[in-house]
Amino acid sequence: MSSNIEPAILSAHEVSKHFRVRGRGFAKAGHLHAVDGVSLDLYAGQITALVGESGCGKSTLARLLAQMYSLTAGEVVFQGATAQASRASAFRRYVADVQLMLQDPYGSFNPVATIEQHLTRAIKVHHPKASRAEVAQIAEDLLRQVHLEPPRQFLDKFPHELSGGQLQRCSIARGLAANPKVFLADEPVSALDVSIRLGVLNLLRELTEVHDVALLYVTHDIASARYFAADTAVMYAGHMVEHGDSEAVTQTPAHPYTRLLIDSAPDPNRPRGTTERTDVGAPPSLIDPPTGCRFHPRCPLATKLCSTTEPPVAVLAPGGQSSAGRPHWAKCWLYSQAPAGFIGPTQQTSTNANTPHRTKEKSDGITK
């Protein structure tokens, strides 16, 4: 495990991504606030899980880190320098270090090309001078690294001839062709069967340790984050709401949303009928997101303050052993002092129509 002083290899600093949404019919055009002011650090040899429901912006954040999308605001820092991969050559250099891996193993392979052709292409991008024999050698080595043996047997196959687990291993092999320092895995096992998932996750963990790679594990399955990742970050509606040691986040969740997520996840240890709850509604529209804390319309504990002002980071516990000294924090007014001028965190407070503190980040409304 990395030590306290080691800096992050890849970081997102207050990144935002707004997509332009075309108006259809009478629906007005606007901007979809997919990710708003999110920061995240990835460390060599460590797995960080990014958890949230579909549409919360976790996949967008992974693509922002991969420089597949341009940033609306904020910056991505790789090895201490701002990553600028707007030009094609710079992007190619960048992806050699930071590789994105996609969810659907069936979809992420070209159906008319063999595994060998896929690997050969990836190898040629990153080893342009390799001879034909060398490329073939590297391709076999890659398949061996992901435990597909004998490699020859897999190279000739078309994607539809392999199982989901085997394809996802090929996908990892393709990513390894670049010898990356960071792996961004977007739901790498969601499309796989339960008995297959563990093998792929263990392979990813093994590669993280052997190659000292930083791994971002994007998932909707918070239980797997507990077992698999040192750190867990929770996103809701484009905001990061909680971050910390995986065991702390899953066992002592602080943010009401994290609690909802954990209460909702199936858990055989919980006897049936113990979680009777009322309808908690659905995530908000991100074209016109709620002000303040984005969870407040669904939150049972929401106060007036929550609906007007975005809560700051509240550190709940200093860093533990496994998260290499990084603290457990949540963005929730439950754990922060109300700002001066705001009378009490109770619901009755009806004063304070225009609070002088920062209302929802109007400032970074810069759009593409």
Residues 305, 310, 311, 312: is their CA dihedral positive or negative? negative
Closest contact distance (angstroms) between CB of 334 and other proteins is 20
The verdict on 107 binding other proteins (CB under 8 A) reads yes
Closest contact distance (angstroms) between CB of 138 and other proteins is 14
Q: Rule CB under 8 A: which of 284-303 touch other proteins?
A: none
- Using CA atoms, how far residue 192 sits from 147, 166, 198, in Å, is 17, 10, 10
The verdict on 258 binding other proteins (CB under 8 A) reads no
Query: Which of 65, 177, 207, 305 is the binder for other proteins (CB under 8 A)?
Result: 177
Q: Rule CB under 8 A: which of 124-143 touch other proteins?
A: 125-126
Closest contact distance (angstroms) between CB of 321 and other proteins is 15
Closest contact distance (angstroms) between CB of 100 and other proteins is 4
Q: Are 90 and 269 a contacting pair, CB within 8 Å?
A: no
The verdict on 252 binding other proteins (CB under 8 A) reads no
Closest contact distance (angstroms) between CB of 201 and other proteins is 9
The verdict on 280 binding other proteins (CB under 8 A) reads yes
The verdict on 109 binding other proteins (CB under 8 A) reads yes
Closer residue to other proteins (CB): 3 or 276: 276
The verdict on 365 binding other proteins (CB under 8 A) reads no
Residue 239: phi and psi, rounded to 5, are -110, 150
Closest contact distance (angstroms) between CB of 19 and other proteins is 14
The verdict on 343 binding other proteins (CB under 8 A) reads no
Cα distance between residue 123 and residue 19, in whole Å: 33
Query: Which of 70, 202, 346, 347 is the binder for other proteins (CB under 8 A)?
Result: 202
Closer residue to other proteins (CB): 85 or 314: 85
Q: Are 280 and 298 a contacting pair, CB within 8 Å?
A: yes
Closer residue to other proteins (CB): 96 or 301: 96
What amino acid occupies position 106?
A: Y
Tokens 């994007």 -> residue: 218
Closest contact distance (angstroms) between CB of 75 and other proteins is 20
CB crowding 112-127: b at 16 or more within 10 Å, else e:
eebbbebbbebbeebe
Cα distance between residue 324 and residue 301, in whole Å: 32
- Between 27 and 66, how does the x/- string for binding to other proteins read (CB under 8 A)? --------------------------xx-----------x
Closer residue to other proteins (CB): 75 or 193: 193
* DSSP 8-state class, residue 190: T
Cα distance between residue 35 and residue 15, in whole Å: 7
Q: Are 49 and 245 a contacting pair, CB within 8 Å?
A: no
> Which of the ranges 31-39, 271-279, 322-330, 353-361 carries the binding residues for other proteins, by CB under 8 A?
271-279
Tokens 């609906």 -> residue: 307
* DSSP 8-state class, residue 12: E
- How many residues bind to other proteins according to rule CB under 8 A? 86
Cα distance between residue 234 and residue 219, in whole Å: 10
Tokens (6 digits) for 163: 């199982």
Q: Are 133 and 112 a contacting pair, CB within 8 Å?
A: no
The verdict on 277 binding other proteins (CB under 8 A) reads yes
